[in-house]
Structure 1
Amino acid sequence: MPNGSLLVDIHHHALLPDLTGAVRLGSVDIPPWKIDDSIAFMDKVGIDVGALTLTSPGIPFGDKVKARDIARRVNETLAGFVDRYPTRLLAMAALPLPHMDASLEELRYAIDVLKLDGVGVLSHYGAYFGTQHYEPLYGQLHERSLPVHIHPTPPVLTADQDLGLPPSLYEYTFESTRVAAAIIYNNLFAKFPNLKLILSHAGGTVPFLAKRLSYGPQITASLAAAAPKDIVGELGKFYFDLAMTNARFNLPALNALVGTDRILYGSDFPFMPTGSITESMKDAFEYPDFSKIDLVRIGSHNAATLFPKIAARLGL
Structure 2
Amino acid sequence: MSEKVRIVGLEEHVVLPVLLDAWAKAGVPRIPQLGYGDEPFARRLRETGDQRLADMDDQGLDVAVLSLATPGVQNLEAADAVSVARDANDALAAIVDANADRFQALAAIPTPSPEAAAEELERAVTQLGFRGAMVYGRTGAKPADAPEFDDLYATAERLRVPLHFHPQTPVQAVQEAYYSGLPNGVGPMLATAGLGWYYDLGVQYLRMIFSGVFDRHPDLQVIAGHWGEVVLFYLDHIGILQNAAKLERPLADYFRQNFWVAGSGTVSERYLRWTAEVVGTGRMLYSTDYPYTFGTRPGGFPFLDTSGGVARSFLERAPFTAEEKAAIGSGNWERLTGHVAGRRGRHDATLG
- Which bin holds the TM-score, normalised by the shorter protein? 0.7 to 0.9
Give unmatched runs, 5+ long, in structure 2.
36-40, 181-186, 297-304, 343-352
Aligned-residue offset at 1:24: 4.7
TM (normalized to structure 1)?
Answer: 0.87
Which residue among 204, 219, 240 is the counterpart of 1:179?
Answer: 204
Superposed CA RMSD in Å reads 2.5
Distance 2:78 2:340 in 1: 34
**Equivalences, count:** 305
How do residues 294-309 of structure 1 correspond to structure 2 at under 5 angstroms? 294-308=324-338
Aligned-residue offset at 1:294: 1.1
Does residue 159 of structure 2 align to residue 128 of structure 1? Answer: no
Distance 1:29 1:60 in 2: 14
> Counterpart in 1 of 2:62?
48
8 Å Cα contact 1:98/1:127 also seen in 2: no
How do residues 197-212 of structure 1 correspond to structure 2 at under 5 angstroms? 197-212=222-237
Identity of aligned residues (%): 25
8 Å Cα contact 2:77/2:112 also seen in 1: no
Which residue among 269, 282, 305 is the counterpart of 2:290?
Answer: 269
> Counterpart in 1 of 2:12?
12
> Counterpart in 1 of 2:133?
119
Does residue 195 of structure 2 align to residue 170 of structure 1? Answer: yes
Distance 2:32 2:47 in 1: 22
SS in 2 for 1:277: coil
8 Å Cα contact 1:200/1:240 also seen in 2: yes
> Counterpart in 2 of 1:90?
104
> Counterpart in 1 of 2:94?
80
User: What do residues 191-223 of structure 1 show as CA deviations (whole Å, max 9, x unaligned)?
Assistant: 2122121001111212211112211146xx3x2
TM (normalized to structure 2)?
Answer: 0.79
8 Å Cα contact 1:28/1:168 also seen in 2: no
More helix by share: 2
SS in 2 for 1:57: coil
Which residue among 59, 65, 74 is the counterpart of 2:79?
Answer: 65
Name the stretch that deviates more: 78-87 or 3-12. Answer: 3-12
Aligned-residue offset at 1:159: 4.4
Distance 1:38 1:174 in 2: 30
SS in 1 for 2:86: helix
More strand by share: 1
Aligned-residue offset at 1:17: 4.7
8 Å Cα contact 1:180/1:235 also seen in 2: no
Report the residue type matching 1:139 in the other structure.
A
